[in-house]
Amino acid sequence: MADEYLQTTGQSVEPMLHEQGLGHLHVRVYGKHIIIYSGERGDGENRARLTQVASQHFRLDMAGHRGRWEQTPFFGTWPELLTQLVRDFGFTLIPW
């Protein structure tokens, strides 16, 4: 089960995505991961995840075309990574 910081962070990520016009995206917390997905709540296509690597630092991972997680070289706080995700990888977040 995810710790309280991760749960709170996960609850903050979805509204930030929706503010960016990405209302079709949802978030769930699983272990040390904040998973961003599209589709129905609880069942959808994985898009990206933030994996907790230190108390308040994360690594950005992207879902490949076969649904497997692929690590990126990007690390930072969740707001930094969310900004980078929307800015540099926005094409992976559009509805399809």
Query: How high is the pLDDT of residue 1?
Result: 45
Query: How high is the pLDDT of residue 51?
Result: 96
The DSSP H or E segment spanning 29 is strand 25-30
Residue 14's Cβ-side half-sphere holds a number of Cα atoms within 13 Å equal to 16
pTM of the predicted model over 0.75? yes
Ranges in the chain, pLDDT < 70 = 1-2, 40-43
Query: How high is the pLDDT of residue 95?
Result: 82
d(CA 11, CA 75): 20
d(CA 20, CA 75): 21
Query: How high is the pLDDT of residue 41?
Result: 62
